[in-house]
């Protein structure tokens, strides 16, 4: 049973709290530019999830572990008021688990380039095979290679793609294997979205080739109180590709909250 761990995390700015939860298999630095912009008027926490970046890992982890890590992070950083929790892709799956486990800690959620449905049996089997290959000594690059062409919008700068390719391939094989299994086992979150009473911001890159815009239209329709925003010209990594557009969307969303 994986025990509790303390996540490494950047913590900048002051004001209403925004927690940014990274995708797979990446780390909190994917939010660096967006967090810098948002930090002008908000307190922004961008953790490395369990086993990623500078955070310690465990041989196995469940979606519940990843979600509980965030609740513990809020305690450690003395965040005692409900916060906006926004997650990209895998980070979105963790946010949906957090919605089930810690709803009282949420002011609002951000579901960014993600999806509410679980894996198909074939997709789950593929993830488990990928995890087994990592356990057998295979490289993280074998997991990253098929994802890479779909992560960024067509025409994204080569330097950007190469930088993030290096960051993805440098993650710990054990952490990547643990997340592959956790994602394969994750439940469908359709009813979680339908039941959520708080505000939700749903964001997609126009050219997201992993979780396309239609998925975000469906999630926004399920959520009782959602705002859907599309970032033109961006792909699956929309907040990293276009941090200014992403930060403006979050600022506008939170400003509506302050006015209401
Ligand atoms: C991610 O960007 O986090 C992944 O595409 C999530 C997934 O593989 O389902």
Strand partners, 167: none
Distance CA 54, CA 27 (A): 9
Q: Is 90 in the pocket of ligand 1 (CB under 6 A)?
A: yes
Please report where in the chains the tokens 């000594």 appear, as a residue.
Answer: 137
Per-residue pLDDT band at 4 (split at 50, 70, 90): confident
pLDDT digits (tens, 9 = 90+) for 97-154: 999 999 999 999 999 999 999 999 999 999 999 999 999 999 999 999 999 999 999 9
Q: Is the pLDDT of residue 258 over 90?
A: no
On the question of a cis peptide bond just before residue 25, with omega within 30 degrees of 0, the verdict is yes
Minimum CA distance residue for ligand 1 atom 9 = 90
Length, in residues, of the chain: 260
Q: How many CA atoms lie within 13 A of 81 on its CB side?
A: 5
Distance CA 79, CA 74 (A): 5
- Counting from 1 in the atom list of ligand 1, the atom nearest the Cα of 91 is 3
Q: Tell me the pTM.
A: 0.97
Q: Is the pLDDT of residue 38 over 70?
A: yes
pLDDT digits (tens, 9 = 90+) for 158-217: 999 999 999 999 999 999 999 999 999 999 999 999 999 999 999 999 999 999 999 999
Q: Is the pLDDT of residue 260 over 60?
A: no
The side-by-side arrangement of strands in the sheet containing 9-12 is 9-12, 43-47, 17-21, 83-88, 106-112, 199-205, 226-231
The pLDDT of residue 1 is 58
- Counting from 1 in the atom list of ligand 1, the atom nearest the Cα of 237 is 2
Q: Is 210 in the pocket of ligand 1 (CB under 6 A)?
A: yes
**Distance between Cα 225 and ligand 1 center (Å):** 25
* Phi–psi pair at 166, nearest 5 degrees: -65, -40
Per-residue pLDDT band at 259 (split at 50, 70, 90): low
Q: Is 171 in the pocket of ligand 1 (CB under 6 A)?
A: no
């Amino acid at each position: 049973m994986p025990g509790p761990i303390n996540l490494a995390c950047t913590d900048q700015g002051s004001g209403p709290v925004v927690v940014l939860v990274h995708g797979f298999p990446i780390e909190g630095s994917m939010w660096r530019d967006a967090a810098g912009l948002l930090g002008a008027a908000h307190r922004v926490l961008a953790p490395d999830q369990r086993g990623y970046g500078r955070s310690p890992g465990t041989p196995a982890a469940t979606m519940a572990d990843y979600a509980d890590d965030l609740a513990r992070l809020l305690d450690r950083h003395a965040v005692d008021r409900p916060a906006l929790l926004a997650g990209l892709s895998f980070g979105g799956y963790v946010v949906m688990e957090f919605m089930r486990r810690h709803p009282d800690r949420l002011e609002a959620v951000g579901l960014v380039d993600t999806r509410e449905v679980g894996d198909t049996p074939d997709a789950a089997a593929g993830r488990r095979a990928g995890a087994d290959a990592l356990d057998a000594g295979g490289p993280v690059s074998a997991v990253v290679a098929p994802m890479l062409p779909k992560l960024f919008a067509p025409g994204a700068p080569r330097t950007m793609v190469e930088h993030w390719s290096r960051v993805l391939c440098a993650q710990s094989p054990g952490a990547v294997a643990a997340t592959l299994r956790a994602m394969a086992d994750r439940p469908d979150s359709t009813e979680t979205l339908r039941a959520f009473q708080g505000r939700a911001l749903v964001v997609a890159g126009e050219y997201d080739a992993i979780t396309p815009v239609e998925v975000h239209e469906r999630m926004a329709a399920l959520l009782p109180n959602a705002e859907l925003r599309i970032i033109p010209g961006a792909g699956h990594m929309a907040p990293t590709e276009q941090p200014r557009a992403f930060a403006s969307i979050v600022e506008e969303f939170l400003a509506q909250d302050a006015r209401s």
